[in-house]
Amino acid sequence: MPQKNVLSLHVPEPEVRPGGTPDFSNVPIPKAGSVPRPEVDVDPRAIRDLAYSIIRVLNREGEAVGPWAGTLTDEELLEGLRHMMTLRSFDARMQTAQRQGKTSFYMQHMGEEAVSCAFRRALLPGDMNFPTYRQAGLLIAGGYPMVDMMNQIYSNERDPLKGRQLPVMYASKEHGFFSISGNLTTQYIQAVGWAMASAIRNDTKIAVGWVGDGATAESDFHAALVFASTYKAPVVLNIVNNQWAISTFQGIARGGSGTFAARGLGFGIPALRVDGNDYLAVHAVAKWAAERARRNLGPTLIEHVTYRVGAHSTSDDPSAYRPKEESAAWPLGDPVLRLKNHLIVRGLWSEERHKQTEAEILDTVIAAQKEAESHGTLHAGGKPSARDMFEGVYAEMPPHLRRQRQQAGV
């Protein structure tokens, strides 16, 4: 009689849990400068190994090395540092504002500042991002008014979204920032559709999709890759792998089985992995992918390897599911510190100027916050009108909504 094996279910677990010693020894980090830079019109089949490596420019000594270096001027690098510092300062103030009860909710970018800030620089006016809730760097680096971001977070009388949206769900057509939805990954396929539209109209604009590691498990991710590949859509599809989806480590979305980038390969999409904490590398890769799209060569998938240093949101406590010291052990370090060190090594920056700039930025953020708060916070001061609740459901208000507005007495 043949022997029957008893089956067992495999449930992936992170290497360590709270109380354990952080261990990233299983995360291979290639040397900066070691990954070649192919031509943008390369046959995707020839660069399959790029989906399994990590493109890095800044080495341990803070030097920019290898074929992906040199895409930014000194001035642009200094500005990039300022953008990341601004986002971090903004985050800290808004996090505190939430704790003070001035808003209901906030989500930080701590540790991921380079991804959106550097990527933004590779885009042109008219290009459209389809961001998640953790890419506010696109707005900061794009010059969107910080006061308007705060007005949105406070749902006050100047909130550009009239108090209808949860904090951080910004929208700005002018700034190439599509309306953020609470529903994960929906925007990924929309980015592809937007890019298809640009191609249908023989336009020159490109679209950029954004998703986190956890949300790649949604079916929209799959649909986006199929459509992007089928129609060679001028779109850059970003995966921000920050290792965590709330409490769930990336292995539950089946990271570690290969790489998230490698999922593009099955669709014939060139896939690159980049050091998400390396401002220079993110920009170089973004520029490469954007150029591919602009030259009508089709989509590119990019996995940004980074780490979510902060809590998932103001409603989350990461110490319940991962070691407190884990972010300090993250081998790719801190994006702000790494760019700062690079600029110091280059003689373009100093500790003193850094401190001074930090203080200047804080002043700017506080001034913006004061202005925003003069227009109200969630529970105090100016509010959007209750009438606004009924507006904008349709282009024109249908009779049943007019009746309900009347009934509401507004």
Phi, psi at residue 271, to the nearest 5°? Answer: -130, 130
Site string for another protein, 123-142 (x = CB under 8 A): -----x-x------------
Tell me, by CB under 8 A, how many residues bind another protein: 47
Picking from 76, 59, 157, the residue whose alpha carbon sits closest to that of residue 372 is: 157
Q: Please, which residue, 77 or 208, has the CB nearer to another protein?
A: 208
Q: Please, which residue, 324 or 402, has the CB nearer to another protein?
A: 402
**Cβ proximity of 280 and 64 under 8 Å:** yes
User: Which residue among 257, 380, 392, 408 contacts another protein (CB under 8 A)?
Assistant: 392
User: H-helix or E-strand containing 90?
Assistant: helix 74-99
CA distances (Å), origin 256, targets 15, 250, 351: 12, 8, 38
Cβ neighbours for 334, distance < 8 A, ≥ 6 positions apart: 111, 277, 309
Stretch that binds another protein, among 116-124, 163-171, 244-252, 356-364 (CB under 8 A): 163-171
Q: Is residue 153 a contact residue for another protein (CB under 8 A)?
A: no
User: Which residue among 28, 36, 143, 160 contacts another protein (CB under 8 A)?
Assistant: 160
Q: Is residue 164 a contact residue for another protein (CB under 8 A)?
A: yes
Q: Please, which residue, 6 or 200, has the CB nearer to another protein?
A: 200
Q: Smallest gap, in angstroms, from Cβ of residue 218 to another protein?
A: 9
User: Which residue among 4, 400, 407, 409 contacts another protein (CB under 8 A)?
Assistant: 400
Spatial separation of the C-alpha atoms in residues 325 and 322, rounded to whole Å: 9
Q: Please, which residue, 130 or 279, has the CB nearer to another protein?
A: 130
Q: Is residue 296 a contact residue for another protein (CB under 8 A)?
A: no
Q: Smallest gap, in angstroms, from Cβ of residue 206 to another protein?
A: 11
DSSP 247-295: TEEGGGGTTTSS-SGGGGGGGT--EEEEETT-HHHHHHHHHHHHHHHHT
Q: Please, which residue, 205 or 287, has the CB nearer to another protein?
A: 205
Q: Is residue 320 a contact residue for another protein (CB under 8 A)?
A: no
Q: Smallest gap, in angstroms, from Cβ of residue 332 to another protein?
A: 32
Where does residue 400 rank: exposed (0-12), middle (13-18), buried (19+ CB within 10 A)? Answer: exposed
Q: Smallest gap, in angstroms, from Cβ of residue 358 to another protein?
A: 33
Q: Is residue 207 a contact residue for another protein (CB under 8 A)?
A: yes
Spatial separation of the C-alpha atoms in residues 208 and 286, rounded to whole Å: 10
Query: In this structure, what DSSP letter does residue 214 have?
Result: G
Q: Please, which residue, 27 or 297, has the CB nearer to another protein?
A: 297
Q: Tokens 């396929």 correspond to what residue? A: 189
| Site for another protein, residues 174 to 203, rule: CB under 8 A | 178-179, 181-183, 186, 188-201
Q: Is residue 267 a contact residue for another protein (CB under 8 A)?
A: no
Q: Please, which residue, 193 or 251, has the CB nearer to another protein?
A: 193
**Cβ proximity of 137 and 146 under 8 Å:** no
Spatial separation of the C-alpha atoms in residues 306 and 177, rounded to whole Å: 22
Q: Is residue 1 a contact residue for another protein (CB under 8 A)?
A: no
| Site for another protein, residues 210 to 249, rule: CB under 8 A | 219-220, 222-224, 226-227, 230
User: Which residue among 55, 87, 94, 161 contacts another protein (CB under 8 A)?
Assistant: 161
Q: Please, which residue, 11 or 200, has the CB nearer to another protein?
A: 200
**Cβ proximity of 216 and 237 under 8 Å:** no
Stretch that binds another protein, among 258-266, 319-327, 338-346, 396-404 (CB under 8 A): 396-404
The token pair at 301 is 């998938």
Q: Smallest gap, in angstroms, from Cβ of residue 62 to another protein?
A: 40
What per-residue string of b and e applies to 175-207 under the rule 16 or more CB within 10 Å gives b?
A: bbbbebbeebbebbbbbbbbbbebbeeeeebbb
The token pair at 342 is 């690079």
| Residues engaged in binding another protein (CB under 8 A) | 128, 130, 160-162, 164-165, 169, 171-173, 178-179, 181-183, 186, 188-201, 207, 219-220, 222-224, 226-227, 230, 392-395, 398-400
